C-alpha cells in the first residue's frame, strides 16, 4: 500500500491493540452495554445520528452519581460516539492499560485545540468514530469494535472527500441480503471500513478486500487486527485469512476467480463537473463516472471473476428513462451466461435523489453551494431523459450445468423479513432442486403448504363464490400471490399425501378440464408457487 495515509488509526503496534481490546471489553463497551447506559429512546436516537438525547441522558446520570464502571463507559461513549472532548486523566480511568498516551499513539485521539488551555493537561478529542457492533449467527453472538471517520453530527463542517464511512444503512442492507454459504475464496469489492469482510470471514476461508482509497484499507486493517480474536485471525499473519488490495473496481483482482463476491460500491449518481479531479469526489459513494455507469461496468465484468457456481451480490442505483420499464436497463448490463435476480426496493424522482445525497454530506450547510449542486443534479438527469432512479439488491451467478438458470427482476417495496439472505439462498436452492427434478420428477413430488403461509378470501355480500383468493407469506420475502380457482384447489390439497401429478389429475377431472393444456399450465403455476416458497417439499 506504500506510505501510510494520513489521519487514520495506526495498526502497527499489536501490543497497544490488545490493550485497547482488553479495556473496551472490560468497560462493557458493547451494543447492549451502550443501549443499557443510554436507555432505549436515546439509543434509538443515536442510531438516527441524533446525539442530544444521549447527552441529556448522560448528564442526568452524572448528576445522580453513576457507579465508577458506568461512569467510565459514559466517558467512552461521550468521547467516541458523541464528539465530546475529555481530559487525559478522565480517559485513563476508562483505559487503564492503554492510557491516554496509547490512544494518541494509535491515532484514535488528538489534542482538542479549540478547548481553553489554562488547564495543566490539554483536553483530547476522538479523531475517529469507534463503536461497538454485534450480530447473531448460528446460535452465537459476535461482538466487534469498528473504527471509521467521524460523521457530520460528531464534527462540524462538510465531510472530507476521502471520508471512510462507518456501518451505514446500505452496509446493513447488503449484510442482511447476502445469501451465505461456506466458500473457499471471497471478494469484498469496495470494503470501506471492512464491515462486509467481517461477515465473510465467518464462512470464507480467505477474503480479498479491495478499495480505491488507501485510507479505507488502513481503517479495514486496523479493524481486522483489533478484532483478530473474534474473527479467528492470527494478527501476526493477517494475509493467511485476508488480503488487502488497492485499486478501482475489478482491476485489483484481474485474473483471479472467486466463489463469492459482495460489493457495496460507490454507486451514487453524481453530476460530473468540468475540471473536477478525484480529490473533488466523495470516494465512499462516487466513482467519478457519469450516470449509473459504475454499476453497469461492475455487473458486466462479474463473469470474469466468478468461478463456476460462484455468486455475486451487490447494491446499486440505476436510471430509469421516461416511459421505460425499470428493469430494461439493468438487464442490458448482464453478460451472457450469468444468472441474474434483481430486486428493486425503491424508485425516487430526480429531486428526492438530489436532496438525499446533498444532505448525506451535509452540503446543505453552505446555501450557495447547495443551490448550485441541486441544480446540477437536475440538469444532469434531464440531459439523459431520466424520470426516476431505482435502488435495489442484485444477485448474480455463473451457473454450472446442473444448476437452474435464473432471469428474475421484481419490485418489492414492502418490508421484508430480515435478514433476507437465508430466504434468498433457500429460493436459489429450490430453483436448483426443481431444475434437477425435471417435469416427471416434479409430477412425482409431494408438497405441503409452508408454515408461514395463510389464505385470504374476499367476496361481495351475497356472492356464492369469492372474487379474490390471496396466498400470503408471513416470513421471508412476504409475497402475496393472487390465485385462480384451480390454483386454490391445488394448494388446499397439498397435505403431502398425494403427488403433484395426482392432485393435478384429480382437479382436471373435477373441473372437467382433464386436457394437456390445463395440466401444463397448472403445473407451471404450481412450480412458481414452489419456487417462491408458498409450497415446500413434504
CA 302 – CA 68 distance, rounded (Å): 53
Tell me the pLDDT tens digit for each residue of 223-243. 999 999 999 999 999 999 999
Tell me: pLDDT of 361 over 70: no
Report the mean per-residue pLDDT for the chain.
92
Query: What is the model's pLDDT at position 363?
Result: 66
Q: Which residues contact 211 (CB under 8 A, 6 or more apart)?
A: 190, 191, 192, 217, 220, 246
With cut-offs at 50, 70 and 90, classify the pLDDT of residue 1.
Answer: very low
Task: Taking residues 166-176, report their average pLDDT.
Answer: 94
Query: What is the model's pLDDT at position 57?
Result: 92
What are the residue ranges spanned by the domains of the chain? 14-127, 147-153+161-319+326-347+389-413, 430-537
Q: Which region among 156-160, 509-513, 525-529 has the lowest average model confidence (pLDDT)?
A: 156-160
Task: Taking residues 246-267, report their average pLDDT.
Answer: 96
Query: What is the model's pLDDT at position 155?
Result: 81
Query: What is the model's pLDDT at position 359?
Result: 82
More confident residue, 460 or 245: 245
Query: What is the model's pLDDT at position 514?
Result: 74
User: Does the fold of domain 430-537 match that of domain 147-153+161-319+326-347+389-413?
Assistant: no
Query: What is the model's pLDDT at position 62?
Result: 76
Query: What is the model's pLDDT at position 489?
Result: 94
For residue 239, the 8-state DSSP code is G
Tell me the pLDDT tens digit for each residue of 30-68. 999 999 999 999 999 999 989 999 999 998 887 765 555
C-alpha pair distances (Å), 62 with each of 58, 85, 122, 255: 6, 16, 22, 58
Q: What topology does CATH give the domain 147-153+161-319+326-347+389-413?
A: Rossmann fold (3.40.50)
Q: Which helix (H) or strand (E) holds 255?
A: none
Of 201-215, 275-289, 353-367, highest mean pLDDT:
201-215
pTM beyond 0.75, yes or no: yes
Query: What is the model's pLDDT at position 35?
Result: 96
C-alpha pair distances (Å), 201 with each of 33, 379, 430, 472: 25, 43, 26, 35
Query: What is the model's pLDDT at position 21?
Result: 98
The closest of 289, 291, 306 to 189, measured between CA atoms, is 306
CA 276, 280, 283, 284 torsion: positive or negative?
negative
Q: Under a CB-based contact definition with an 8 Å cutoff, are residues 37 and 74 in contact? A: yes
With cut-offs at 50, 70 and 90, classify the pLDDT of residue 455.
Answer: very high
Is the domain spanning 430-537 CATH 1.10.8? The answer is no
Tell me: pLDDT of 187 over 60: yes
DSSP string over 436-465: HHHHHHHHH-EEEE-TTEEEEEE--TT-SS
By CB atoms closer than 10 A (0-12, 13-18, 19+), residue 453 is buried
Tell me: pLDDT of 93 over 70: yes
Question: What does the H/E/C string look like for 259-319?
Answer: EEEEECCCECCCCCCCCCCHHHCCCCCECCCCCCHHHHHHHHHHHHCEEEEEEEEEEEEEE
Instruction: Count how many residues are written for the chain.
Output: 538
Tell me the pLDDT tens digit for each residue of 101-157. 999 999 999 998 754 555 556 799 999 999 999 999 877 889 999 999 998 788 876
More confident residue, 511 or 20: 20
More confident residue, 455 or 368: 455
The closest of 284, 236, 166, 204 to 11, measured between CA atoms, is 236
CA 180, 46, 269, 220 torsion: positive or negative?
negative
Query: What is the model's pLDDT at position 278?
Result: 66
Q: Which residues contact 117 (CB under 8 A, 6 or more apart)?
A: none
Tell me: pLDDT of 69 over 60: no
Q: Under a CB-based contact definition with an 8 Å cutoff, are residues 242 and 227 in contact? A: no
Amino acid at each position: 500500500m506504500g506510505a501510510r495515509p494520513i489521519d487514520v488509526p495506526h495498526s502497527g503496534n499489536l501490543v497497544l491493540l490488545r490493550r485497547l481490546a482488553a479495556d473496551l471489553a472490560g468497560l462493557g463497551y458493547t451494543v447492549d452495554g451502550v443501549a443499557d447506559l443510554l436507555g432505549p429512546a436515546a439509543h434509538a436516537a443515536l442510531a438516527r445520528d441524533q446525539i442530544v438525547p444521549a447527552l441529556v441522558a448522560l448528564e442526568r446520570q452524572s448528576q445522580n452519581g453513576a457507579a465508577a464502571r458506568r461512569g467510565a463507559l459514559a466517558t467512552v461513549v461521550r468521547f467516541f460516539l458523541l464528539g465530546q472532548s475529555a481530559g487525559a486523566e478522565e480517559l485513563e480511568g476508562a483505559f487503564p492499560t492503554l492510557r491516554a498516551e496509547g490512544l494518541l499513539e494509535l491515532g484514535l485521539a488528538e489534542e482538542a485545540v479549540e478547548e481553553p488551555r489554562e488547564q495543566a493537561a490539554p483536553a483530547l478529542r476522538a479523531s475517529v468514530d469507534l463503536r461497538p457492533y454485534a450480530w447473531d449467527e448460528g446460535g452465537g453472538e459476535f461482538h466487534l469494535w469498528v473504527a471509521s471517520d467521524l460523521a457530520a453530527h460528531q464534527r462540524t463542517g462538510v465531510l472530507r472527500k476521502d471520508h471512510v464511512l462507518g456501518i451505514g444503512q446500505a452496509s446493513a442492507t447488503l449484510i442482511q441480503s447476502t445469501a451465505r454459504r461456506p466458500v473457499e475464496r471471497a471478494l469484498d469489492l469496495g470494503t470501506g471500513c471492512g464491515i462486509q469482510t467481517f461477515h465473510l470471514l465467518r464462512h470464507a476461508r480467505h477474503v480479498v478486500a479491495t478499495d480505491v482509497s488507501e485510507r479505507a484499507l488502513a481503517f479495514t486493517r486496523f479493524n481486522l487486527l483489533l478484532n483478530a480474536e473474534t474473527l479467528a485471525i492470527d494478527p501476526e499473519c493477517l494475509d493467511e485469512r485476508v488480503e488487502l488490495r488497492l485499486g478501482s473496481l475489478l482491476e485489483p483482482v484481474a485474473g483471479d476467480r472467486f466463489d463469492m463476491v459482495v460489493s457495496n460500491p460507490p454507486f451514487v449518481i453524481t453530476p460530473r463537473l468540468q475540471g473536477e479531479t478525484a480529490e473533488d469526489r466523495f470516494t465512499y459513494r462516487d466513482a467519478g463516472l457519469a450516470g449509473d455507469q459504475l454499476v453497469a461496468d461492475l455487473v458486466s465484468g462479474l463473469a470474469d471473476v466468478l468461478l463456476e457456481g460462484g455468486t455475486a451480490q451487490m447494491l446499486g442505483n440505476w436510471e430509469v428513462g421516461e416511459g421505460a420499464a425499470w428493469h430494461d436497463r439493468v438487464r442490458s448490463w448482464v453478460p451472457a451466461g450469468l444468472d441474474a435476480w434483481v430486486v428493486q426496493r425503491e424508485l425516487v424522482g430526480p429531486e428526492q435523489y438530489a436532496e438525499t445525497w446533498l444532505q448525506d454530506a451535509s452540503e446543505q450547510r453552505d446555501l450557495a453551494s447547495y443551490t448550485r449542486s441541486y441544480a446540477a443534479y437536475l440538469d444532469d438527469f434531464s440531459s439523459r431523459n431520466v424520470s426516476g432512479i431505482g435502488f435495489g439488491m442484485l444477485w448474480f451467478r455463473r451457473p454450472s450445468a446442473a444448476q437452474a438458470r435464473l432471469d428474475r427482476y421484481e419490485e418489492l417495496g414492502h418490508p421484508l423479513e430480515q435478514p433476507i439472505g437465508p430466504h434468498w439462498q433457500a429460493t436459489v436452492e429450490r430453483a436448483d432442486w426443481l431444475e434437477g427434478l425435471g417435469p416427471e420428477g416434479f409430477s412425482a413430488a409431494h408438497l405441503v403448504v409452508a408454515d408461514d403461509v395463510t389464505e385470504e378470501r374476499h367476496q361481495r355480500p351475497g356472492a356464492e363464490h369469492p372474487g379474490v383468493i390471496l396466498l400470503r407469506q408471513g416470513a421471508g420475502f412476504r409475497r402475496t400471490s393472487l390465485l385462480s380457482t384451480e390454483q386454490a384447489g391445488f394448494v388446499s390439497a397439498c397435505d403431502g399425501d398425494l403427488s403433484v401429478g395426482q392432485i393435478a389429475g384429480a382437479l382436471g377431472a373435477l373441473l372437467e378440464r382433464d386436457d394437456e393444456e390445463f395440466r401444463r399450465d397448472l403445473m407451471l403455476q404450481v412450480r412458481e408457487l414452489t419456487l417462491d416458497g408458498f409450497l415446500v417439499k413434504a
